[in-house]
Amino acid sequence: MTLPTPGLPTTGLPTLGLVGLGKIARDQHIPAIAATGLFELAAVVSPDGDSAGTGGVPCFRSQAEMLAALPGLDAMAICTPPAVRHGLTVEALRAGKHVLIEKPPAATLSEMQDIAAQAQAARRTLLTAWHSRFNPAVEEARQRLADATVRSVAITWKEDVRRWHPGQDWIFAAGGFGVFDPGINALSILTAVLPAPVFVRSAELHVPANRDTPIRAMLEMRAAPGAPVGVVTADFDFLQQGEQTWSIAIETADGSRLDLTHGGTRLIVDGVPAMAEPDSEYQRIYRHFHRLMLDGASDIDARPLHLVADACLVGRWRTTDAFHW
């Protein structure tokens, strides 16, 4: 999508408001904004008023307050929990702001479709920031597979929820995505690197008896007949003890094998490390966002969310042991 109006201010850096000051904002967004030097972090929104670590920029209790106080802001980065992203994104777009949204960009597909329509109507840049895609190893894998025939893909995404989301009950509440919260990162890589789309054929979803979202999910996906992609399996597990695994193993028809490991940050080709870069995905996100604003364009992709919803739609839901922290 090309926008008719230029997206950058004529003088100075574009100013950015950061909405939602949780772990991902502090660990990733603020350092990446500082490191890239392409945006001026002009304000933050923190509902509890705690703005420690933001360098003393103005802090507001809501985005609406921030927009009213600082009408000249150029862009927003929405880092809140998923449930409120749709409303905040629409509010920001209608106020004429460019918007970067953390993954997943919305809680539902209906919201996702509305966000895309609103961005088009507002003629503003929208970036659905599927962060795992921004690792250089992912782009390298995409290029290597662009003309390949993929025989099989096996996604193994196994982590210990007690270690990575300790006490975060929202992840197991209805709409909290459960094990799809990390799993959607794998699907965002999958849809970025494969040379053809794949479709969920079956899924098995295990929900703890005392929770509402899956703690384990196993998916089988296939491409259309004749497409250069074979079977794709995914095993998402939130109860992994010991070694944690975030890997995608890809076998091609010519007998070679690509392994994207460590969440997509490393690429191994036929057993030989081909790329291992430090984790710079958020810097790449902000460079991409800046470039999109410069070009008057958007990057809106619902495919990872489609695959999760499809798994929920066609999957077999099974009740498993109750989960306690």
Footprint on this chain of its own copies (rule: CB under 8 A) = 86-87, 90, 107-111, 113-114, 174-175, 197-200, 202-203, 207, 212, 224-225, 302-303, 306-310, 312-317, 319
> CA–CA distance from 94 to each of 36, 80, 90, 189, 264 (Å)?
27, 18, 6, 31, 35
In the numeric block, which tokens belong to residue 165?
């989301």
CB 16 within 8 A of CB 77: yes
Task: CB nearer to its own copies: give 226 or 255.
Answer: 226
Q: Which of 23, 97, 103, 158 is catalytic?
A: 103
Q: How far is the CB of 130 from its own copies (least distance, A)?
A: 16
CB 98 within 8 A of CB 293: yes
CB 311 within 8 A of CB 217: yes
Cα-atom radius of gyration of the chain, to the nearest Å? 20
Q: How far is the CB of 55 from its own copies (least distance, A)?
A: 32
Task: CB nearer to its own copies: give 61 or 201.
Answer: 201
Q: How far is the CB of 314 from its own copies (least distance, A)?
A: 4
Of 4, 16, 3, 11, nearest in space to 290 by CA: 16
Task: CB nearer to its own copies: give 146 or 314.
Answer: 314
Q: How far is the CB of 108 from its own copies (least distance, A)?
A: 4
Taking residue 56's Cβ as centre, other Cβ atoms within 10 Å add up to 8
Task: CB nearer to its own copies: give 173 or 274.
Answer: 173
97 as an active site residue: the answer is no
> Looking at the annotation, which residues are catalytic?
103
